[in-house]
Amino acid sequence: KAGVTQTPRYLIKTRGQQVTLSCSPISGHRSVSWYQQTPGQGLQFLFEYFSETQRNKGNFPGRFSGRQFSNSRSEMNVSTLELGDSALYLCASSPAGTGNYEQYFGPGTRLTVT
């Protein structure tokens, strides 16, 4: 099976712009989670989508949003970019169910905001 794929791998944006990142989960996985990874804050949970519905949400401002399509592919959007949004954004997929299912991570999208 193909792994989790994320596009693009690298992105440079300017403050105030918006950005959309894409994630394709492992075939058959219905849950997609997004994380922000920075040297200072570590891995922080953004949100999780399951069957096109947001099931869990982390503590991020409303500028961060996401959605999931019927084929389980997911996108996250960040509007009005700030310098502090520079980070590695990781997507993870897992099968249906909760708690005891491991998450499989993609390679991430490195976002740089200038």
Partner 1 sequence: AQSVTQLGSHVSVSEGALVLLRCNYSSSVPPYLFWYVQYPNQGLQLLLKYTSAATLVKGINGFEAEFKKSETSFHLTKPSAHMSDAAEYFCAVSDVNTGNQFYFGTGTSLTVIP
Identify the residue among 60, 73, 86, 105 touching partner 1 (CB under 8 A).
105
**CB of 75 closer than 8 Å to CB of 66:** yes
Among 45, 60, 65, 79, binds partner 1 (CB under 8 A): 45
With tokens 């492992």, the residue in question is: 26
- Residue 16 beta carbon to partner 1: minimum distance, rounded to whole angstroms: 27
100: CB partners within 8 A, 6+ apart: none
Judged by CB under 8 A, which stretch of 13-21, 48-56, 61-69, 72-80 contacts partner 1?
A: 48-56
100 lies in the binding site for partner 1 (CB under 8 A): yes
Distance separating alpha carbons of residues 27 and 5, to the nearest angstrom: 11
For residue 90, state whether it binds partner 1 (rule: CB under 8 A). Answer: yes
Q: Any contact of residue 98 with partner 1 (CB under 8 A)?
A: yes
Q: Is residue 103 close enough to count as binding partner 1 by CB under 8 A?
A: yes
User: 């994320």: which residue's tokens?
Assistant: 6
CA dist 33 to 29, 42, 83, 99, Å? 11, 16, 23, 13
Contact residues toward partner 1 (CB under 8 A) are: 4, 31, 33, 35, 42-43, 45, 48, 50, 55-56, 58, 90, 92, 94, 97-108, 110
